[in-house]
Each structure stands twice: as structure tokens, then as C-alpha cells.
């Protein structure tokens, strides 16, 4: 017996004739099933159209399935196909078929229960609080814990077996499929991160956080996480080997926790005013904080922090090229994190240098948050950059070089400026950067629309092509391009592909010695990606 969750959504219902008062609640009963969650909406009055607050068409096309005959869901709204008014409808919400960049998953399985993203049920213009009324079956409960039969659905909520929920420094939601080593590593990291950030920022969290851990073996290897109101952190580990952890995996899980927990401060206690355009700000803060917290906890060495920063500097340089971060910021993908961390690293170095080592970037964040507290809880990039020293008039000031457009010498000048702040940065070649440049160039010869590849497998790359890339359709897996293994000898592959493309020749992609496809390379390759090694980061 799976029971049900009865939800009251205080919303605004948009009708073609007259609008119902926003204070009138809409009742939604969420009934967990083996394959998903059935949601039945009961409206206070008939309407011709029910618009949802978050359109997220890609998510709903994948996960929301209208069950009521004669009803349709399109462009974030539910309506009858004959145009008549209605006062109730049902949808079946099923788990997401794939992860999406900068999107919350609608439904994720954990230990026989479900992690549900509540805000997707809100109606357009609905600004009143969501009241969830839970009547779980015997042996089931919710997290965050229901109070007087109510549970908030303004973020993630878990509905499932009570034995999947454990108390500690945080409330942990894990199923029996989660290995003990992973649960223990996450619990320890959560406790340490909370203590470290509370001390360094001078403020604690108002409520004990909830951490949900999900394993999704059907997804391509990797991981994804996010936070919601509650506060709740969702940590999702992907791939058929997600449950198999070695020491390196444990260390990555710790850094994963450190990143998401910082969002409890910079995205939940306070908020970035321009989070869409300035995603580099809050994501860069969280990722740089995770590096510092991981170093503090002993799971990263000085050399490993330097290695991480090498990748961020290299990634940002090759993403921005001549563009300035201020006018042309990345809005999704790895460049958000690469450039965001680079900004924070520069700020940290400048604060340390100006204070002779007595202050660091945590002091800057503390002051930024204190100012935000006096201004409705919001901060922005301009306020951060002013505190970090963007007003330095010197043309070679590192933040000037990063935030503003520049010519071919811009990035070497930035590397030199970092050395002036105490770092040691040397030019090099990056296998990771050259692998990305090579694969994306080859895909660009045949793809129309989006393209990419999945990391996480040390032996091969799975291409993200679906039906957009001709001979490479179907998301094939490859390990060799132009006769060289792109996982172990990628620099040779990059060098070999250059002359082939210059001559408009054919490039063969293969897996374990067997040809997968042949692509005619019609355009010359760009110069080798810039890359640096950070030998000393502070």
C-alpha cells in the first residue's frame, strides 16, 4: 500500500473569462505508485486553461503524462482539447529519463520511495505558500518532516519508507542501494562542511539541512546535485558503477557535498540577484569554497587544489577566448564553473595580498552577505567585484583582464598577473582541453543543433548526438579518433587530426579497434587550446 500525499497549492488560476482569487487553494493529491507519482488536481472553480508557474517544457514532455481523457499539456499549460472548461485533471509523473543542465529533476527514485520537486506543481502567478498534507501508508514518512500533517512543497520532499531516513548533523535520506562507504563519506562531509562554513562565514543555518542521496544506474556516468528550500541538498550519482566507490570516488563525493552545502548560504540564506546572467557568481563561489573546505578537511592536498585550478583557468580561457566575462557570461555548461572559480581565486589572492595574509575570500563573502542582509538578502556581481578590486585602474589588473574583452595576449597576461599575486603558473598542454576541442570539432562536421559528449568513463567517451548528427547518430561510444586513443594519447590524436582537416580528409572514429563511423572533415581545426599548470596557487 503506497498511500497518498494531499497538497494544497495557494495559486492563481488563469481563465479565459474571469480569474479566481489567488488565495483560493487548489488541491493536488500526490499518490505514489510503483512507476511514479500520480497527481490529481482539483480546482476551486472551472477554468479553460491551467498555466503552471515553471514552464520547463523539456522536463514535462519527458516526465508528465496527462491521464485524464480529452486533456492535453503543452507549453506549460493544461487544457481540454475541445476548449471546454474543467475543474479537475490527473497526470502521472515518472522519473526523468536523463539529467539536464541547470534543471531540477521532476522525480527521482530513492529506496523504493520518491524524491519529488514540489515547485513544478505550482500554478502561474501563484505566490502564496504551498501547503502539503501527507497521509503516508504504514511504515512511510516524509523528509523534511511533516508538521501537524503538513509538509512544504517549495522544494524537494521525499515520500518513502521511514527506514530510509536517518538523523544526524543533517537528516539523511538514502535507500539500501546506497553503499555504506558513500553514506558515511557524505555524512562526515556534511558535518564538517556545516561546521567550517558556519565558523568562516560567522553565521549558521536557521534549520537543520536534509540530504538526499540517489543512485541512477541507467544514466551515463557522472553526478549532479542541487539545493532547494528546506534547506535540502540532492546528490545524484549516475552510471552502472555508481554504487562502486574507491578512495578517489569518496574524495570526489566529499567535494560534491562541500559545493552543495555552500549553496545553503549563498543561494538559500542569501540569493544572487541576477542568478541567470551571473551564474558564474554563485556557482563559482560554491566550487571555490568546496576546494577550500576539502583542503581544510585533508581530502585535497595543495597540489590537488593547484591541479583543479589549472583546469579552471584552462577551461575559462578556452570558453571565453576574446570575450569578457562581464558582457558575455556563460549561462550553462562547464564554463560557468571554470570562469566562476577563476574569479573567486583572483579575489582570494587579492584579499590575501592586501591584508598580508590575515584575510581571505571568506572575509569578502562574509562582508558581502552582511551587506545583502541589509538589502533584502540579495547580492550581485557588481557588489562582489567592487569588494574584490575590479576598480583597480591598472590595465593588467587580473579582474580587468578577465571581465573585459581582450586580444590574443590577454590570457598570458592574466597568467602573469596571477604570478604577481603569489601564484606560480606555467604554460603547458592540456589533454582534457584538447580532447574537448577535437571531439567538438569532429561533431561540428556532421551535427545540426546541440552536440556534446559524456565524461565519467576512463576508457571511452559516449557522444551526445541522438538524431542530430548523421553518421554519428545514436549516441555512439568511441575511444579512438584519427588513429590515436583519445583517453590515453589525446595530444597525438589532436596533432594527427590537424593535417587531415586542413586537407579536407576523412577522420575515422572507432571503439576497441572497430570502426564506428567515418567523418569528412571539411573545416580546418582551430589552434591548440591554451593551457596552464598551476604549480603554486597561493
pLDDT at residue number 130: 60
Q: In this predicted structure, which of 246-260, 374-388, 417-431, 470-484 has the lowest mean pLDDT?
A: 246-260
Query: Does the pLDDT value for residue 19 go beyond 70?
Result: no
Are 500 and 484 within 8 A, CB to CB?
Answer: no
- Count of Cβ atoms closer than 10 Å to residue 506 Cβ: 11
Mean pLDDT of 24-30: 83
Give me the mean pLDDT over the 416-438 stretch.
Answer: 96
Lowest mean pLDDT among 107-116, 208-217, 456-465: 456-465
- How high is the pLDDT of residue 368? 98
| Global pTM value | 0.90
Residue pLDDT, tens place only, 212-223: 999 999 998 889
Residues 265-305 pLDDT 10s: 999 999 999 999 999 999 999 999 999 999 999 999 999 99
- Alpha-carbon distance 448 to 445, whole Å? 9
Cell matching residue 169: 548533523
Joined grid coordinates for residue 396: 593588467
Q: What is the DSSP letter of 97?
A: S
pLDDT band for position 250 (50/70/90)? confident
Per-residue model confidence as pLDDT tens digits over 119-138: 999 888 755 446 667 777 78
pLDDT band at 149 (very low <50, low <70, confident <90, very high): low
| Assigned C-alpha cell, 307 | 591541479
- Count CB neighbours of 443 within 10 A: 21
- Residue 77: name the closest of 145, 14, 160 by CA: 14
For residue 132, what pLDDT is reported?
67
Distances (CA, A) of 335 to 278, 330, 350, 384: 12, 6, 22, 19
Burial of 473 (0-12, 13-18, 19+ CB in 10 A): middle
**Tens of pLDDT along 80-89?**
999 999 999 9
- Cβ count within 10 A of residue 188: 17
DSSP symbol at 530: P
The larger pLDDT score, comparing residue 351 to residue 28, is at: 351
Sheet strands (E) in 334-406: 378-379
pLDDT at 244: 84
Q: What is the pLDDT of residue 42?
A: 87
Amino acid at each position: 500500500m503506497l498511500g497518498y500525499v494531499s497538497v494544497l497549492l495557494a495559486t492563481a488560476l488563469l481563465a479565459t473569462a474571469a480569474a479566481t482569487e489567488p488565495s483560493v487553494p487548489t488541491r493536488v493529491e500526490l499518490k505514489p505508485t510503483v512507476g511514479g507519482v500520480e497527481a490529481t488536481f482539483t480546482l476551486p472553480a472551472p477554468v479553460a486553461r491551467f498555466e503552471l508557474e515553471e514552464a520547463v517544457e523539456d522536463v514535462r514532455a519527458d516526465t508528465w503524462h496527462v491521464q485524464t481523457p480529452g486533456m492535453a499539456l503543452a507549453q506549460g499549460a493544461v487544457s481540454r482539447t475541445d476548449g471546454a472548461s474543467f475543474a479537475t485533471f490527473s497526470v502521472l509523473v515518472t522519473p526523468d529519463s536523463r539529467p539536464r543542465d541547470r534543471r531540477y529533476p521532476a522525480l527521482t527514485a530513492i529506496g523504493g520511495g520518491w524524491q519529488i520537486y514540489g515547485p513544478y506543481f505550482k500554478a502561474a502567478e501563484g505566490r502564496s505558500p504551498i501547503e502539503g498534507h501527507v497521509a503516508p501508508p504504514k511504515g512511510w514518512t516524509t523528509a523534511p518532516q511533516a508538521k501537524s500533517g503538513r509538509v512544504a512543497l517549495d522544494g524537494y520532499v521525499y515520500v518513502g519508507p521511514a527506514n530510509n531516513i536517518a538523523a544526524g548533523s543533517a537528516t539523511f535520506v538514502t535507500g539500501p542501494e546506497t553503499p555504506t562507504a558513500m553514506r558515511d563519506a557524505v555524512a562526515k562531509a556534511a558535518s564538517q562542511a556545516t561546521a567550517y562554513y558556519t565558523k568562516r562565514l560567522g553565521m549558521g543555518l536557521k534549520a537543520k539541512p536534509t540530504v538526499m542521496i540517489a543512485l541512477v544506474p541507467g544514466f551515463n556516468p557522472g553526478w549532479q546535485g542541487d539545493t532547494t528550500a528546506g534547506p535540502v541538498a540532492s546528490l545524484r550519482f549516475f552510471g552502472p558503477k555508481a554504487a562502486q566507490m574507491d578512495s578517489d570516488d569518496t574524495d570526489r563525493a566529499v567535494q560534491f557535498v562541500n559545493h552543495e552545502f555552500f549553496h545553503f548560504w549563498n543561494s538559500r540564506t542569501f540569493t544572487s540577484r541576477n542568478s541567470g546572467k551571473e551564474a558564474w557568481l554563485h556557482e563559482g563561489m560554491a566550487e571555490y569554497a568546496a576546494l577550500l573546505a576539502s583542503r581544510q578537511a585533508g581530502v585535497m592536498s595543495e597540489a590537488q587544489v593547484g591541479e583543479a585550478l589549472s583546469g579552471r583557468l584552462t577551461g575559462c580561457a578556452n570558453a571565453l577566448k576574446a570575450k569578457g566575462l562581464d558582457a558575455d557570461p556563460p549561462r550553462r555548461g562547464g564554463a560557468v564553473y571554470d570562469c566562476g572559480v577563476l574569479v573567486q581565486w583572483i579575489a582570494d589572492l587579492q584579499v590575501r595580498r592586501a591584508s598580508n595574509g590575515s584575510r581571505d575570500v571568506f572575509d569578502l563573502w562574509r562582508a558581502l552577505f552582511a551587506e545583502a542582509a541589509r538589502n533584502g538578502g540579495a547580492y550581485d556581481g557588481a557588489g562582489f567585484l567592487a569588494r574584490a578590486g575590479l576598480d583597480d585602474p591598472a590595465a593588467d589588473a587580473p579582474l580587468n583582464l578577465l571581465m573585459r574583452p581582450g586580444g590574443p595576449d590577454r590570457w598570458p597576461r592574466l597568467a602573469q598577473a596571477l604570478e604577481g599575486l603569489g601564484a606560480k603558473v606555467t604554460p603547458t598542454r592540456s589533454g582534457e582541453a584538447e580532447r574537448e576541442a577535437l571531439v567538438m570539432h569532429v561533431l561540428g562536421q556532421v551535427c545540426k543543433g546541440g552536440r556534446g559528449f559524456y565524461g565519467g568513463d576512463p576508457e571511452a567517451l559516449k557522444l551526445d548526438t541522438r538524431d542530430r548528427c548523421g553518421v554519428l547518430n545514436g549516441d555512439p561510444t568511441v575511444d579512438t579518433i584519427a588513429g590515436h586513443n583519445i583517453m590515453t594519447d589525446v595530444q597525438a590524436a589532436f596533432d594527427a587530426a590537424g593535417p587531415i582537416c586542413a586537407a579536407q580528409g576523412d577522420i575515422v572514429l572507432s571503439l576497441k579497434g572497430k570502426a564506428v563511423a567515418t567523418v569528412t572533415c571539411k573545416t580546418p581545426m582551430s589552434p591548440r587550446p591554451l593551457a596552464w599548470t598551476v604549480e603554486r596557487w597561493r
